[in-house]
Structure 1
Amino acid sequence: MIYTVIDVETAGPGNKLTEISIFRYEDDELIDEFTSLVDPQQLIPEYITDLTGIDDLMVAKAPTFAEIAEDILSITQNAIFIAHNVSFDYNAIQNEFAAIDIKFVRKKLCTVRLSRKLLPGHKTYSLGKLCAKLDIPIVGRHRARGDAEATVILFKILLKQPTAVEVIESFLKKATKETKVPKHLKQETFDQLPSTTGIYYFKDENDAIIYVGRAKDIKKRVLSHFSSKAEKEINLSKELTDVDYELSGSETIALLMEDAALKEHLPKYNQAPKRAPKAYAIFSYQDRNGILHLAYNTLKSTPNAIQILYSIQECNHYLEVLCKQFNLCPKYTHLQEGTANCSLYPIQSCKGICDKKESMALYNLRVKQAIDYLKNISKNVIVKQKGRYENEEAFILIENSSYKGYGFIDKYEQINTSEDLEPFLIPQQDNIDIQRVLNKILISPDQSVVQTQ
């Protein structure tokens, strides 16, 4: 087996290369290697320098990617492209080649995926943590040569595992299935699609957008359109001449991007907008015994709405989260009806108010806290999301309970107020579809939500 183990360092947003290291092996023998700094032709952010040690001065006299392109093509020719988190390195190199109008396509293997399959049981499969567990030395962490050398050792360990041959063959077989693209779409266009999260645009011969989709893996999702036997997909493929895309980092940002694109372009092959869903609202009331209840009803029937939602399922989900977070009783949040107490409800959050084991005053206090939480949950909020690149974060901005848009920012940028985000904000229109997306993420405990003034 001939393979190259590769690692690259980049200048952050845009993923322009600052360093590349390649080791070419034939079976167990090193037959060639190539390492070079690369001039990214842009300034290197300070946080990248802090991470890699590579600064503007170091790359000032380094070759540009175009100047080393032939070396990279030569050393990787007829070899399997191997890297730790291969999509990052492969896409970065492929995009550099695309910028100089050169097609770069190689079979590839990911040592992250291989490690998960062949070395199961590790809590994390990051290169640093995995190497520490396996006693693999890394000389020069976050430098291309040091990381590539460590990946070489890791791959050799993987090759020694009992089922390595079968696993590698199966991974390569999946990766090299013949891709049948529509006759009017260039194979090169498809080959250069990324296997990451974002939205994609199908265009016709007039460059009109005829379909917009979102995907966790853009390339895989686009390919699925071509294998479908549905009449709509067949007709779509016949008209398709080009595919464009935008990376999003997270699936939530992809949802927001897709919504904006659909409303702007009204693509002919996307479904027509659905009728506005019925609105519901969570409200509170006090029963004859003085106990505060939380319940929901249609918005029209709710005079003092605390939170507006757009399905019964959303209402129940919100109430369940509040039960867990504030130790409320499922009976008095109307999740469990017609029982003396809530003992049989799956969520065991109640402290005994329904069984007279807790004072009404203490229980009502927690209900009021839950109400305050709901009232402020979406008032002025920054929701942090995964960025498109390793050293980037995405954000969603909500002000006065209204969605303002999303954006991308360097992970180490100092942000103290929502005003600090304005230069990075991509403004968007608020609507019911967006509110439904935001309602789901704002109540989720695993979201990074920052309340602002």
Structure 2
Amino acid sequence: MQYTIIDVETSGRTNRITEISVFKYDGNVIVDEFTSLVNPNCYIPDHITALTGIDNNTVKDAPEFHEVAQQVLDITEGTTFVAHNVNFDYNVIRNEFKSLNIDFTRKKLCTIRLSRKLLPGHKSYSLGKLCKDLDININGRHRARGDAEATVILFQILQRQDNAETVFSEFLNKKSKEATLPPNLPKEVFNALPNATGIYKLKNKKGEIIYVGKSKDIKKRVLSHFHSKTKKALDMVRETADIDFELSGSELIALLMEDAAIKHHFPQYNKVAKRAPKGFSLFSYQDRNDIMHIAINNSKATPNPIITFYSLRDARLFLERICEQFSLCPKFCHLQEGVNECSHYVLKTCKGVCTAKEDVKGYNERVTNAICQIINDSQDVVLKEKGRHDYEEAFVIVKNGAYLGYGFIDRDEQITHEDELQHFLIKQKDNSDVQSILRAVLLNK
């Protein structure tokens, strides 16, 4: 089997190649080499220059990637792509080819993951520290040729380890999860993830939470991050060194857990809203003919809202349902504008108040009843949810319109009054995002 042992230096955030080095290795000796600076056609930040010594002046006369692409294709053809943290180098090169409308596909081996398996016990598996432990001299750290050459020596050491052939075969198996896991993530951590509903927290080497997610199948969802080719996913995966999880039982509680965790930890790879979402409120008023209206308006312009939503679509769907339930007129619920009489394409419930066929007093009574029900239903709610295990149930409590939290309770517990749930309640903070989550659920109840 032939291998190409590769290292690239990049422009940092934009991930354009500034230098590439490829050693072709037949399993015994180096049979070919290609090394070149590359002009990335973008600014190289100072912190990258400080690390690699490569600045824009260094690469100004270097070939662009399209000028060296054929040489890279030729030297890697029919070989297994090897690198220290292979997913990074492989995806950087693959993206360069993608910009040229060329599909670059090679088998991969990662020397970090191979080292963890065949050379256990090292405190760090970064190239610099591992080479120091193994007395491998790096002639030009953080330069493509120096790092690639050191990786060749490391690869040869790995080949000589007991069980190396079996391990190499396992890692080359396309169905093997080993090939897709982040280089800093121990296999046993991933294997411990459940195929169940809940949240998960990706952590870096310092134990800092860098991403929080939720899923009906935690293990499957986490693995999907490792297959993603977006820059955000690649950066996040490269930093992942540990994963925590917490079961929720239900998707609703997973959503609530996720929101709370994101707002508590502010993980760098989660998009946290910088501003409060726009609210849309239902309000009522009487017109000059004494007919009561229910309408939707911006929450900031609504001093006494009946109920508030954080999606105009949710507000409108809710109002349509109320309109239908209480046989209200779509025109006076402002579901139709600029018409003399209602002709809503879905709602056929109007009794004729818009054409003077119905008494205004009777109509207004139904509007009042609708408003009372909305207020009462939105004040105190206990939602029953699926538990984390077969022997328990879960619940979510809303009191006086405010979200109090969720809890889990054994099915054998005898609950005779809602107040007894307080003993099992895991208290949480209310916010507009939570209200939006709960409102969407309540709309479908």
Tell me the TM-score normalised to structure 2 length.
Answer: 0.57
Q: Structure 1: which amino acid aligns with 2:276? A: A
**Residue in 1 aligned with 2:271?**
271
C-alpha distance after superposition, 1:307-361 (max 9, x if no partner)? 1222322321221121122222211110111223322422333333334443323
Counterparts in 2 of 1:345 and 1:189: CA distance versus 1, 3 Å:
same
1:178 aligns with 2:194: no
SS at match of 2:372: helix
Q: Secondary structure at the match of 1:378?
A: helix
Tell me the distance in 1 between the aligned counterparts of 2:411 and 2:290: 49
1:280 is matched with 280
Within-5 A mapping of 1:100-115: none
Q: Distance in 2 between matches of 1:336 and 1:352?
A: 15
Equivalent residue number for residue 94 of structure 1: none
Distance in 2 between residues matched to 1:177 and 1:423, nearest whole Å: 47
**What fraction of aligned residue pairs are identical, expressed as a percent?**
51
Deviates more, 1:311-320 or 1:200-209: 311-320
d(CA) in 1 for partners of 2:277, 2:437: 13
Deviation string, structure 1 residues 31-63 (Cα, Å, up to 9, x no partner):
xxxxxxxxxxxxxxxxxxxxxxxxxxxxxxxxx
Q: What is the Cα deviation at residue 407 of structure 1?
A: 0.6
1:118-129 equivalent positions in 2, closer than 5 A: none
Task: Verify the 8 A CA contact 1:378 1:442 in the aligned structure 2.
Answer: no
Contact 2:391 2:411 in 1 (8 A): yes
Determine the C-alpha separation between the residues in 1 that align with 2:416 and 2:363: 36
Q: Which residue of 2 aligns with 1:314?
A: 314
**CA shift for structure 1 position 258:** 0.5
Indicate the residue corresponding to 1:253 in structure 2.
253
Other structure's SS at 1:244 match: strand
Shift of 1:246: 1.0
CA shift, 1:435, in A, is 1.5
Tell me, in whole angstroms, the C-alpha distance in 2 between the residues paired with 1:215 and 1:405. Answer: 20
CA distance in 2 between partners of 1:238 and 1:402 (Å): 40
2:341/2:354 contact within 8 Å kept: yes
Mapping of residues 134-283 of structure 1, within 5 Å: 177-179=175-177, 180-283=180-283
Q: Tell me, which stretches of 5 or more residues in structure 1 are unaligned?
A: 1-175, 447-453
Tell me the CA shift for residue 423 of structure 1.
1.7
Given that residues 397 and 418 in structure 1 are in contact (C-alpha distance below 8 angstroms), is that contact kept between their aligned partners in structure 2? Answer: no
SS of equivalent residue, structure 2 residue 378: coil
| SS of equivalent to 1:368 | helix
Contact 2:311/2:436 (8 A) holds in 1: no
Q: Summarize the Cα distance change of 1:288–1:197 in structure 2 as closer, same or farther, 3 Å threshold.
A: same
Quote the Cα distance in structure 2 between the aligned partners of 1:282 and 1:318.
10
The 8 Å contact of residues 263 and 272 in structure 2, kept in 1 or not, is answered as: no
Q: Equivalent residue for 2:408?
A: 408
Aligned residue number for residue 372 of structure 1: 372
2:330 is matched by which residue type in structure 1?
P
Deviation (angstroms), 1:412? 4.6
Number of residue equivalences: 270
Aligned partners of 2:378 and 2:401 also within 8 Å: yes
**Partner in structure 1 of residue 302 of structure 2:** 302
Deviation at 1:177, TM superposition (A): 4.1
Distance in 2 between the 1:374 and 1:344 partners? Answer: 22
TM-score normalised per structure 1: 0.56
Look up the SS of the partner of 1:183 in the other structure. coil
Counterpart of 2:339?
339
Checking the alignment, whether the CA contact within 8 Å between 2:262 and 2:272 is kept in structure 1 is no
Structure-1 separation of matches of 2:421 and 2:330: 40
Q: Aligned to 1:212, what secondary structure does the other structure show?
A: strand
5+ long unaligned stretches in structure 2: 1-173
Q: Could you tell me which residue of structure 1 aligns to residue 144 of structure 2?
A: none
Equivalent residue, structure 1, for 2:430 = 430
Supply the RMSD in Å over aligned alpha carbons: 2.0
2:284, 2:375 → 1: CA distance? 12
Question: 2:414, 2:430 → 1: CA distance?
Answer: 27
Amino acid at match of 1:178: S
